[in-house]
């Protein structure tokens, strides 16, 4: 137990600018920093060593930590020490109560709940799902795609420096915009009228284009350049024509006023790069973000606060997608698993993984009904999972869908087509 604590303590205090053991007791002002971060020490134990604590064990561990930290408090007033310890014990007790309530609510699996409503309809399997279109036009790795609200048009972004709008039915390019930076990582289609598109990447800027204007073409200039992030732009999505959300490698998300280019508010809370975000179709005031800190966080734009934080993954979360009814969300991670988290029970309800799959997931998307969760994988494949099963693999797309990493995918709003994009430079439409 001593070596375990010592290892974690060294790491924790190094993160917060201190040595362990300390040469001299810290100033009283450092106590404030402890009040902000002390619970992270216990969380670090859990994450680093996969230790499971019940309520009593949490208190026992805190007692051990405080005993070892006693040397830090030698020159501090007893009242400060008592208040600090009391504060931490209260926090630990509340967190333990929350965990106990979560465990109580999460009393059944998704498969058990589904079985209570009778036999499930069999899923349609290949070869019914076929490749219908191959969109050729990019000359570099396709990094992102996004469907328009009409379910016919889609947007794609590639490292060839082009942003292309396609008519997926006719396999025709309707717009091709040359970007100032070829290092694009994300793109978005405004869903209500379809006049605006946006993109961003390693330039740290979200560029907005109006494709309905007469000069929309290869030489089109951005109508707005949104610049406030201190890291690369990983994802962007329109809330409506006037507002947009972006996530970044600076560990934050930002809500923008598209017309003025001003920051409406910034969402901070992640401890690593934010890789993806998804807006609830049932309530556009709520969105979820996924990060390399392995958490999925629910945010409310009305309050600007992080209202829920979901744990479960063992590695970076690369993609998130809201369930159609807005009560849950799906994730794809570098730990080779997709998962579904439900906001009502505040926890993970299903995990999708098999021993045969040992690569990361780049993107996820639900079918219109939510019965299927599609995942794009680093091994060039696309797998579909049955969300109301005990983690069953439904099917994968015929053969190997692409000749390189599947970097993005999405189901259109009507739910009758799936688009996949890849580093092989192609986008493919499946139905």
pLDDT tens digits, residue range 256-296?
999 999 999 999 999 999 999 999 999 999 999 999 999 99
Mean pLDDT of 49-54: 45
CA-CA distances (angstroms) from residue 192 to 87, 147, 148, 151, 159? Answer: 48, 12, 9, 12, 28
* CATH number of the structural domain 131-430: 2.130.10.10
Highest mean pLDDT range out of 12-21, 52-61, 327-336?
A: 327-336
Is the predicted pLDDT of residue 53 greater than 50, yes or no?
A: no
Cβ within 8 Å of residue 301, ≥6 positions away = 239, 245, 255, 265, 285, 286, 287
Contact 381, 354 (CB under 8 A): no
Mean pLDDT of 70-77: 47
Give the model confidence (pLDDT) of 190-236 as tens digits: 999 999 999 999 999 999 999 987 565 566 789 999 999 999 999 99
Q: How confident is the model at residue 51 (pLDDT cuts 50, 70, 90)?
A: very low
Vertex 58: Cα angle to 31 and 328 (nearest 5):
100
pLDDT value at residue 118: 74
Where exactly are the structural domains of the chain? 2-105, 131-430
Is the predicted pLDDT of residue 8 greater than 50, yes or no?
A: no
What is the percent of the chain where pLDDT is above 90? 64
Is the predicted pLDDT of residue 378 greater than 90, yes or no?
A: yes
Identify the CA nearest to 73 among candidates 19, 27, 120: 27
Mean pLDDT of 106-125: 73
Is the predicted pLDDT of residue 332 greater than 50, yes or no?
A: yes
Give the tokens for residue 322.
Answer: 């809201």
Please indicate whether residue 197 or residue 13 has the higher confidence score (pLDDT).
197
pLDDT value at residue 152: 97
The pLDDT mean for the chain works out to: 83
Identify the CA nearest to 212 among candidates 226, 202, 223, 201: 223
Is the predicted pLDDT of residue 46 greater than 90, yes or no?
A: no
pLDDT value at residue 26: 43
Is the predicted pLDDT of residue 20 greater than 60, yes or no?
A: no
pLDDT value at residue 214: 55
Query: How far is Cα 53 from Cα 407, in angstroms, rounded to an integer?
Result: 38
Please indicate whether residue 310 or residue 399 has the higher confidence score (pLDDT).
310
pLDDT value at residue 44: 53
Is the predicted pLDDT of residue 395 greater than 60, yes or no?
A: yes
Please indicate whether residue 155 or residue 122 has the higher confidence score (pLDDT).
155
Highest mean pLDDT range out of 23-32, 111-120, 408-417?
A: 408-417
Is the predicted pLDDT of residue 429 greater than 60, yes or no?
A: yes
pLDDT value at residue 398: 85
Which of 99-113, 186-200, 382-396 is predicted least confidently?
99-113
What is the percent of the chain where pLDDT is above 70? 76
Please indicate whether residue 345 or residue 194 has the higher confidence score (pLDDT).
194
Count Cβ neighbours within 10 Å for each residue of 86-117 and write b for 16 or more, e otherwise. Answer: eebeeebeebbeebeeeeeeeeeebeeebeee
Mean pLDDT of 357-375: 96
Is the predicted pLDDT of residue 57 greater than 60, yes or no?
A: no
Scan for tokens 């945010």, then name that residue: 299
């Amino acid at each position: 137990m001593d070596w375990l604590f010592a290892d974690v303590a060294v790491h924790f205090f190094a993160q917060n600018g201190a040595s362990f053991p300390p040469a001299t007791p810290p100033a009283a002002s450092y106590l404030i920093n402890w009040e902000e971060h002390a619970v992270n020490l216990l969380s670090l134990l859990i994450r680093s060593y996969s230790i499971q604590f019940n309520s009593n064990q949490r208190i026992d561990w805190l007692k051990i930590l405080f005993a070892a930290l006693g040397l830090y408090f030698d020159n501090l007033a007893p009242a400060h020490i008592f208040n600090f310890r009391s504060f931490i014990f209260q926090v630990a007790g509340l967190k333990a109560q929350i965990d106990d309530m979560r465990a109580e609510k999460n009393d059944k699996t998704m498969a058990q709940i589904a079985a209570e409503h009778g036999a499930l309809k069999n899923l349609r399997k290949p070869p019914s799902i076929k490749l219908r279109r191959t969109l050729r036009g990019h000359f570099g790795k396709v990094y992102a795609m996004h469907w328009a609200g009409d379910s016919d048009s889609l947007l794609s972004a590639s490292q060839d420096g082009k942003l292309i709008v396609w008519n997926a039915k006719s396999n025709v390019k309707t717009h091709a915009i040359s970007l100032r930076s070829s290092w694009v990582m994300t793109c978005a289609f405004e869903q209500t009228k379809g006049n605006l598109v946006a993109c961003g990447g390693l330039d740290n800027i979200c560029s907005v284009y109006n494709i309905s204007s007469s000069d929309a073409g290869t030489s089109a200039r951005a109508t707005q350049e949104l610049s406030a992030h201190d890291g690369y732009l990983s994802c962007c999505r329109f809330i409506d024509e006037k507002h947009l959300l972006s996530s970044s490698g600076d560990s934050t998300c930002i809500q923008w006023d598209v017309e003025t280019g001003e920051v409406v508010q910034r969402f901070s809370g992640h401890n690593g790069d934010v890789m993806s975000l998804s807006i609830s179709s049932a309530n556009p005031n709520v969105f979820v973000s996924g990060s390399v800190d392995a958490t999925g966080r629910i945010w409310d734009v009305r309050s600007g606060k992080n209202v829920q934080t979901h744990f479960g993954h063992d590695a970076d979360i690369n993609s998130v997608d809201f369930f159609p009814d807005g009560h849950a969300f799906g994730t794809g991670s570098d730990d080779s698993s997709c998962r579904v988290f439900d906001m009502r029970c505040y926890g993970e309800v299903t995990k999708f993984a098999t021993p045969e799959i040992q690569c990361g997931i780049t993107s996820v998307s639900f079918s219109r009904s939510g019965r299927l969760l599609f995942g794009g994988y680093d091994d060039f494949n696309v797998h579909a999972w049955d969300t109301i099963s005990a983690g069953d693999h439904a099917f994968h797309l015929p053969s190997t869908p692409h000749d390189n990493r599947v970097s993005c995918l999405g189901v259109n709003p009507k739910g009758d087509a799936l688009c996949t994009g890849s580093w092989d430079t192609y986008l493919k439409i499946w139905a």
